[in-house]
């Protein structure tokens, strides 16, 4: 049953008493491990009110939350979010995995894509309500770079590391993530 | 402001209108990448009502949610959860990272530990209300094994892959995660 219907988030309870959060508008969430030809990973930095901190994340967003685009395929949403947030388009999208972000407390399932063949076509920064800074970090330096951001008080999303672990070799056969 | 105060989960809204979920009782969440001497990773399998599926996860749980143990240090909670859920104790715990599981919708911050020097001292299975199955999967087979579970309709938590990516070499110098 719905305990409270917020505008963007609902709080629900199962008959056995388990409470959890649910986003009613979204069909899914997508996140993108975008790898440039010179072996950099595109990351976003933005303030996240729930954790009261700037957070380093993969470009990501909701699928199906735009009126008249409720049936938007996940890969289309991934392409749109990558473009909106980073200003890059990609030639190839590969689905890496779908999984829950916090299976004990929300219905959120995130689908992770790897994008390659990138071209910069705009500035990125988000859809206007967002205030996103974009970073292009060499894969080899990513871990140290994330640790430095943490030392500065920023938070780093786990999915960055998960995506690197899951990244697959591209047709060229180079292990892009090492 | 609190929009709704559930028993375990609150729904809140910032002054700018951002809605998010918060667990009032927990001081933090811990998850453990437990690596056995014969290079296996301990994983849990349990039904998760929010996503209506059995989910493969790292041993994990709340810190500070037990009455009179509200000040429980995170590493103590990690040790307790590992023991409760898998039946193993560990000689060494190393903190790998703290990060948000879903920075856009909840306050949840998860602290990830690596545990080595494992000894089996019990059966695990959780605290009674939980019904947890334990798997010990060779690190090299982990990815294929997770994919097989997904094909069976189970879900896999991203933090398993993130933890493997973050895993550090132990004193012995072996790269346990490869």
Contacts of B22 in chain A (CB under 8 A): 50
What whole-number distance in Å separates Cα of residue A40 and Cα of residue A160? 13
Instruction: Choose the weakest-confidence range: A61-70, A103-112, A148-157.
Output: A61-70
| 3-class SS of residue B30 | strand
CB B9 within 8 A of CB A20: yes
How distant, in Å, are the alpha carbons of A16, A79, A173, B155 from that of B159? 27, 24, 27, 12
pLDDT for A67 equals 72
Between A7-16, A30-39, A106-115, B163-172, the lowest mean confidence (pLDDT) is in B163-172
- Helix, coil or strand: residue B120: strand
Residue B100's Cβ-side half-sphere holds a number of Cα atoms within 13 Å equal to 27
DSSP alpha helix (H) spans, chain B: 74-86, 142-151, 158-166
Name the helix (H) or strand (E) containing B40: strand B40-48
The confidence score (pLDDT) of residue A72 equals 80
Q: Structure tokens of B75?
A: 């590493």
| Euclidean distance between the first and the last CA atom of chain A, given in angstroms as a whole number | 47
A chain contacts of residue B161, beta-carbon cutoff 8 Å: 97, 161-162, 165-166
What pLDDT sits at residue B172?
46
Q: Does B175 touch chain A (CB under 8 A)?
A: no
Asked if B140 reaches chain A (Cβ–Cβ under 8 Å), the answer is: no
In this prediction, residue B164 carries a pLDDT of 93
Q: How far is A53 from chain B (nearest CA, A)?
A: 9
Biggest CA-to-CA distance, chain A = 52
Contact A16, A26 (CB under 8 A): no
Q: Which of A49, A62, A85, A164 to mutate to test the interface with B (most CBs of B within 10 A)?
A: A49
Low-confidence winner among A16-25, A131-140, A167-176, B84-93 (lowest mean pLDDT): A167-176
CB-based contact, A174 to chain B, within 8 Å: no
B18: which chain A residues are within 8 Å (Cβ-Cβ)?
49-50
B153 touching A (Cβ < 8 Å): no
Average pLDDT over residues A69-89: 91
pLDDT at A172 over 50: no
Nearest to A9 among B11, B101, B161 (CB): B11
Size of interface A-B (CB pairs under 8 A): 166
Of residues B122 and B83, the one with the higher pLDDT is B83
> Chain A contacts of B108, Cβ < 8 Å?
102, 105
* Domain residue ranges in chain B: 26-166
pLDDT interval class at B68 (50, 70, 90):
low
pLDDT at B121: 93
Considering the segment(s) B26-166 as one domain, its CATH architecture is Alpha-Beta Complex (3.90)
More confident residue, B70 or A141: A141
Mean pLDDT to the nearest integer, B62-73: 77
Average pLDDT score over residue span B112-120 = 96
Mean pLDDT of A76-82: 95
B 61-80 residues with CB below 8 A of A?
A: none
Residue A161 has pLDDT above 80, yes or no: yes
- Largest separation between any pair of C-alpha atoms in chain B: 52
> Which residue does chain B place closest to A21, by CA atoms?
B21
Calculate mean pLDDT across residues B147-171: 90
Q: Over range A153-169, report the average pLDDT.
A: 92
Whether B148 and chain A come into contact, CB under 8 Å, resolves to no
Spatial distance between the Cα atoms of A96 and B139, rounded to a whole number of angstroms: 19
Rg (CA), chain B: 17
When scoring A13, A18, A19, A22 by the number of chain B Cβ atoms within 10 A, the one with the most, hence best to mutate, is: A19
Tell me: pLDDT of B171 over 60: no
Q: What are phi and psi of A155, to 5 degrees?
A: -110, 150
Task: For residue A105, give the nearest of B9, B16, B103 by CB distance.
Answer: B9
Q: Residue A1: is it exposed, middle or buried by C-beta count within 10 angstroms (0-12/13-18/19+)? A: exposed
């Amino acid at each position: 049953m719905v305990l409270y219907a917020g505008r963007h988030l609902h709080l629900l309870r199962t008959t056995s008493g388990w409470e959890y959060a649910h986003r009613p508008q979204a069909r899914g969430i997508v996140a993108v491990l975008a790898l440039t030809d010179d072996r950099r990973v595109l990351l976003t930095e933005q303030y996240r009110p729930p954790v009261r901190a700037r957070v380093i994340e993969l470009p990501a967003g909701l699928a199906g939350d735009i009126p008249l685009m409720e049936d938007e395929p996940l890969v289309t949403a991934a392409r749109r979010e990558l473009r909106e947030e980073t200003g890059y388009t990609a030639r190839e999208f590969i689905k890496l995995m779908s999984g829950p972000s916090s299976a004990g407390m929300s219905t959120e399932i995130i689908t992770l894509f790897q994008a390659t063949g990138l071209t910069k076509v705009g500035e990125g920064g988000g859809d206007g309500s967002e205030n996103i800074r974009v970073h292009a970090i060499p894969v080899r330096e990513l871990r140290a770079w994330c640790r430095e951001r943490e030392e500065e008080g920023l938070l780093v999303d786990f999915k960055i590391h998960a995506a690197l672990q899951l990244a697959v070799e591209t047709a060229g056969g180079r292990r892009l993530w090492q």
